[in-house]
Amino acid sequence: MATAQPNSTPEARQDFYDRLKPQNLAPLWEVLRGLLPSEPKSKAAPHCWCYADARPLLMESGELLTAQEAERRVLVLENPALPGMSRATSTMYAGLQLIMPGETAPAHRHSPSALRFMLEGEAAFTAVGGERTTMRRGDFIITPSWAWHDHGNEGSDPCAWLDGLDLPLVAFFEAGFNEHYNDERQSIVRPEGDALARFGSNMLPFKPVSRYGLTTPIFNYPFEQTRAALVAAAKGEAPDPHEAVTLRYSNPIDGGWAMPTMAAWMTFVPAGFETAPIRSTDGIVMALGEGAMTAEIGDRSFDLDESDVAVSPGWTWRRYRARKDSFLFCFSDRVAQEKLGLWREERGPAS
Ligand code: 1HN
């Protein structure tokens, strides 16, 4: 059977494309392969920020300007493959924030959600929803979307933490809002520990409450609890070949992830344990809370010490080897991908 055989010249095609352009039309067949790769190829690169190298610069920023002046005194962790875009992975923002003794980072709120992983200092607090929480090393802290939040440091040492925000995701949806509070600090209406007592003690209020919409009502998951749970869990079962011992931070209201756009979890890799390769479609930001370990990410290998931050781009093989008992905090857009039916993982052979 004869099939249609258009015999256009390259010049004729180009002429056609030139006439499409003024009509804001374009030929799909010229770009289809780029739109639909056979598998994801992240634009982000594997990378590690050594806290020992970043810390002196962070402290120098403390001499340069006040937290109030800066609004948030943060050194953005820029993925080397995405310069100037304020992105650690393709969809996640990360930064190192410093607050000096006596300072206040003034109250504001925004539709992007924020999380913090505490790195240094014992006397910083954050206030959310009229309640304060003291932020200690290894604590996982949440600022829900559109919740007023301010931070302060009432001790005598600098305090620093890792910030994670879903800014690139929100920017993609063009759904970002921001508002300043009419005072430096929000008014405190609840005693410290209220949220943890009501929602973080394996009990829940009789009356259904949702203080922050889709976000967990617990806004500080203390490291002390997380660490104890991981260590106890490691006693009951051998570590998973790919995950080691991993528990995710959950929303007690529905058992889902703690936040609607950013998934967070902590992995305990016991000293000497080596995980088998795994890759997933979410790009991951990780910070070592405690221990010492090697992270192999794609063709890179990073020796992580405490407070170092590393990035594993989406669909990139990763594996860990612990030199000491290691507690690795991780966050990614996995929860968003899961809701959209996009998230996948692949597990390599366990040797
Ligand atoms: C923000 O509100 C904080 O509240 C930190 O500590 C970093 C980066 C971009 C936009 C808002 C904070 C931020 C941020």
Query: Which pLDDT belongs to residue 348?
Result: 98
CATH 3.30.200.20: does it fit domain 47-347?
A: no
State both tokens at 153: 């440091």
Ligand 1 midpoint to CA 333 (Å): 18
The yes-or-no verdict on residue 111 having pLDDT over 90 is yes
- Closest atom, ligand 1, to C-alpha of 149: 4
Q: pLDDT tens-digit profile of 1-52? A: 667 778 889 999 999 999 999 999 999 999 998 899 999 999 999 999 999 9
Pocket lining: 72 vs ligand 1, CB cutoff 6 Å:
yes
The yes-or-no verdict on residue 338 having pLDDT over 90 is yes
Q: ∠185-186-187 over CA atoms, to 5°?
A: 120
Q: pLDDT tens-digit profile of 177-203? A: 999 999 999 999 999 999 999 999 999
Ligand 1 midpoint to CA 72 (Å): 6
Q: Mean pLDDT in the chain?
A: 96
Q: Tell me which of 165, 166, 167, 185 to substitute to probe ligand 1's pocket, judged by most ligand atoms within 8 Å of the beta carbon.
A: 165
Query: Which pLDDT belongs to residue 250?
Result: 98
**293 near 304, Cβ under 8 Å?**
yes
Burial class for 42, CB neighbours closer than 10 Å (0-12, 13-18, 19+): buried
Dihedral (C-alpha) 56, 307, 219, 311: value to the nearest 10 degrees?
100
Give the DSSP letter of residue 324. S
Cα–Cα distance for residue pair 286/279, rounded to 1 Å: 14
Q: pLDDT tens-digit profile of 227-265? A: 999 999 999 999 999 999 999 999 999 999 999 999 999
**Residue boundaries of the structural domains of the chain:** 47-347
Q: Tell me which of 163, 169, 219, 262 to substitute to probe ligand 1's pocket, judged by most ligand atoms within 8 Å of the beta carbon.
A: 163
Ligand 1 midpoint to CA 180 (Å): 12
State both tokens at 63: 């001499």
Q: pLDDT tens-digit profile of 263-290? A: 999 999 999 999 999 999 999 999 999 9
Name, in order, each residue with C-beta under 8 angstroms of 154's C-beta and a sequence gap of 6 or more: 101, 102, 123, 124, 125
Model confidence band, residue 161 (pLDDT cutoffs 50, 70, 90): very high
Look at residues 156, 144, 177, 175 and name the one whose alpha carbon lies nearest to residue 99. Answer: 156
Q: Please give the helix or strand (H or E) that residue 132 lies within, else none.
A: strand 131-135
What percent of the chain has pLDDT above 90?
Answer: 95
Query: Which pLDDT belongs to residue 2?
Result: 62
Q: Which residue has the tokens 């991908």?
A: 337
The yes-or-no verdict on residue 351 having pLDDT over 80 is no
Pocket lining: 114 vs ligand 1, CB cutoff 6 Å:
yes
Pocket lining: 318 vs ligand 1, CB cutoff 6 Å:
no
